[in-house]
């Protein structure tokens, strides 16, 4: 697979820095055309297919303001600066679901939406779960659902689950 020549960066500047950072890049494409690219700079994230038993999977429901509604998702979270993805997955699983995993296996790595963000995500499968207690972030209102593998796959196939990381994670691990 050939990557081809990369655009030449002429100038970069931070347009906004808050809960997210937006960087504006002025680049010259290999064709010679000068363009501006707005990039949401992201520290990376994890998502977890947590399996209390081989026949079950944990899903969460939470309101997502950008989507304007509640979504059904896999547990997931953003990496802290310098944080190891495995440690993040362990932390996020317990924070969001109230479970710790005896085994955490990396199943995939992927860019979420490389057209506008640098976000790179790590997918883990968690097994050997022991229930502890949830500790969601202050801005999270999460409902935890344990469903069968068949039900989770039905929810993907029917379009009930519309979150891309969750669709990818469930299909990658369960099929």
CATH number at residue 158: 3.90.79.10
Domain that holds residue 85: 45-174
The answer to whether the beta carbons of residues 170 and 57 sit under 8 Å apart is yes
Domain assignment of residue 2, yes or no? no
- Our count of domains for the chain comes to 2
The answer to whether the beta carbons of residues 109 and 123 sit under 8 Å apart is yes
Domain assignment of residue 3, yes or no? no
DSSP annotation of 116: T
Domain assignment of residue 1, yes or no? no
Q: What is the pLDDT of residues 92-144, one digit of tens each?
A: 999 999 999 999 999 999 999 999 999 999 999 999 999 998 776 677 689 99
C-alpha 5/C-alpha 8 separation (Å) is 9
Element (H or E) spanning 154, and its range? helix 149-158
**pLDDT of amino acid 94:** 95
Name the least confident of 52-66, 130-144, 145-159: 130-144
**pLDDT of amino acid 19:** 86
153, pLDDT greater than 70: yes
C-alpha 112/C-alpha 169 separation (Å) is 12
């Amino acid at each position: 697979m050939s990557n081809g020549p990369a655009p030449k960066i002429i100038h970069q500047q931070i347009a906004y820095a808050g809960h997210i950072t937006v960087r504006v890049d002025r680049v010259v494409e290999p064709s010679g055309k000068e363009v501006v690219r707005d990039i949401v700079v992201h520290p990376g994230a994890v998502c977890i297919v947590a399996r209390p038993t081989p026949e079950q999977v944990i899903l969460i429901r939470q309101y997502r303001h950008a989507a304007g509604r509640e979504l059904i998702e896999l547990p997931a979270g953003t990496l802290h600066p310098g944080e190891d993805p495995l440690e993040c997955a362990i932390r996020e699983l317990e924070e969001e679901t109230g479970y710790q995993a005896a085994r955490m296996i990396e199943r995939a790595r992927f860019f979420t939406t490389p057209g506008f963000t640098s976000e790179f995500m790590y997918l883990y499968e968690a097994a050997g779960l022991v229930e502890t207690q949830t500790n969601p972030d202050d801005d999270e209102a999460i409902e935890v659902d344990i469903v069968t593998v068949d039900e989770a796959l039905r929810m993907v196939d029917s379009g009930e689950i519309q979150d891309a990381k969750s669709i990818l994670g469930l299909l990658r691990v369960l099929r």
